[in-house]
């Protein structure tokens, strides 16, 4: 996920069109388990953090909290010309803006990012019913993290995400901003991954800090202690049920869900959606993001279902990033964004009654 790699992505986009992703193995069927949809939370790393924020606002009536890890403010990459010049040209402009102004802080002199403007933009989309009402998000609890050694998405950009949440009306007492660890660019753990200051695959770093527990406790309140050995079900499921033309929208063939013990049969368990970062999907790092981040350990003792949707590498998106600059189309911030549509349908499947199977 180095800056050099993302610069190569800009070059590829100039001459690329979206093509179907090459196949992975077909998965099982995502089960109906009667999950409690109105207690959903999201989190993500880097590009996944941006997608977590986009999903949070698109479906604010369902989402009660978000973990933004090494990511910036909602809508940061969208060009001011998005409404008047939709199409591949705008995606190109958005990507340049994303890299220079929403990862690095090179556009600060031009007022990018501008949390106040982004809050206005979010309210505009809500007024057009393209995302849920902003009032729904004001109740949310938000966890933000930046590492002092992160040179991919610099701390000032994550601070702008905090300021965006303030600007839409989320109180300081609902926001937790962790910025004092010497972490590189990645998901921080207590005892798994690379050295704390590393920025390298699988983008999981050991800083003696349980980030999964910290963000889940901030969102949900006091939790039961984590278990040492998860005993639930890890299911690889077919994402093709949830979106036609998966590959043309950057989605992988399969995703993964973890169902904690006791959450199978209409038990009303809560769902946490974890969005991987660029080059952090299962095709790139295997099950590292699923098994080493700590989410499963907290899920077992707290009746959580953890959904790990997956995107894939395409010519227009060779790093397998979630769409936070518009490579799937100009609607990427809205409920109609293909990737948001797919993940929402996965959530609805989990929330459906088992009797509907």
Active-site amino acid positions: 46, 150, 185
Our CA dihedral for 348, 227, 277, 119, rounded to 10 degrees, sits at 60
Number of Cβ within a 10 Å radius of residue 355? 9
Distance CA 240, CA 220 (A): 31
SS3 assignment for the chain: CCHHHHHHHHHHHHCCCCCCCCCCCCCECCCCCCCCHHHEEEEEECHHHHHHHHHHHHCCCCEEEEEEECCCCCCCCCCCCCCCCCCHHHHHHHHHHHHHHCCCCCCHHHCCCCHHHHHHHHHHHHHCCCCCCHHHHCCCEEEEECCCCCCCCCHHHHHHHHHHHHHCCCCHHHEEEECCCCCCCCEEECCCCEECCCCCCCCEEECCCCHHHHHHHHHHCCCCCCCCCCCCEEEEEEHHHHCCCCHHHCECCEEEEEECCCCCCCCCCEEEEEECCCCCCHHHHCCHHHHCCCHHHHHHHHCEEEEECCECCECCECCCCCCCCCCCCCCCCCCCCHHHHHHHHHHHHHHCCHHHC
């Amino acid at each position: 996920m180095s800056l050099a790699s993302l610069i190569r992505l800009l070059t590829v986009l100039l001459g690329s069109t979206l093509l179907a992703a090459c196949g992975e193995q077909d998965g099982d069927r995502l089960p109906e388990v009667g999950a409690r949809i109105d207690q959903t939370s999201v989190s993500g790393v880097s590009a996944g953090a941006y997608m977590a924020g986009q999903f949070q606002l698109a479906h604010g009536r369902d989402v009660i909290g978000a973990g933004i890890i090494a990511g910036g403010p909602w809508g940061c990459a969208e060009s001011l010309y998005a409404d008047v010049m939709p199409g591949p040209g705008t995606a190109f402009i958005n990507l340049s803006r994303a890299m220079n102004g929403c990862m690095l802080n090179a556009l600060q002199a031009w007022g990018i990012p501008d949390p106040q403007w982004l809050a206005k933009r979010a309210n505009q989309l809500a007024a057009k019913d393209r995302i849920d009402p902003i009032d729904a998000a004001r109740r949310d609890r938000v966890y933000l993290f930046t590492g002092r050694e992160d040179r991919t998405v610099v701390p000032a950009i994550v601070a702008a995400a905090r300021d965006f949440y303030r600007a839409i009306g989320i109180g300081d007492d609902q926001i937790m901003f962790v910025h004092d660890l010497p972490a590189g660019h990645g998901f921080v753990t207590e005892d798994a991954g690379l050295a704390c200051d590393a920025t390298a695959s699988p983008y999981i770093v050991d800083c003696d800090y349980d980030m999964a527990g910290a963000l889940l406790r901030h969102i949900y309140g006091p939790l039961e202690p984590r278990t040492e050995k998860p005993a639930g079900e890890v299911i690889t499921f077919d994402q093709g049920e949830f979106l036609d033309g998966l590959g043309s929208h950057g989605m992988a063939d399969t995703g993964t869900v973890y169902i904690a013990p006791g959450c199978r049969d209409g038990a009303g368990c809560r769902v946490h959606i974890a969005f991987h970062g660029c080059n952090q999907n299962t095709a790139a790092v295997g099950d590292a993001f699923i098994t080493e981040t700590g989410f499963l350990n907290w899920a077992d003792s707290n009746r959580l279902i953890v959904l790990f949707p997956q995107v894939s590498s395409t010519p227009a998106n060779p790093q397998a990033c979630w769409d936070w600059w518009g490579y799937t189309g100009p609607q990427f911030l809205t409920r109609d964004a293909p990737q948001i549509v797919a993940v929402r349908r996965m959530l609805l499947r989990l929330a459906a009654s088992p009797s509907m199977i």
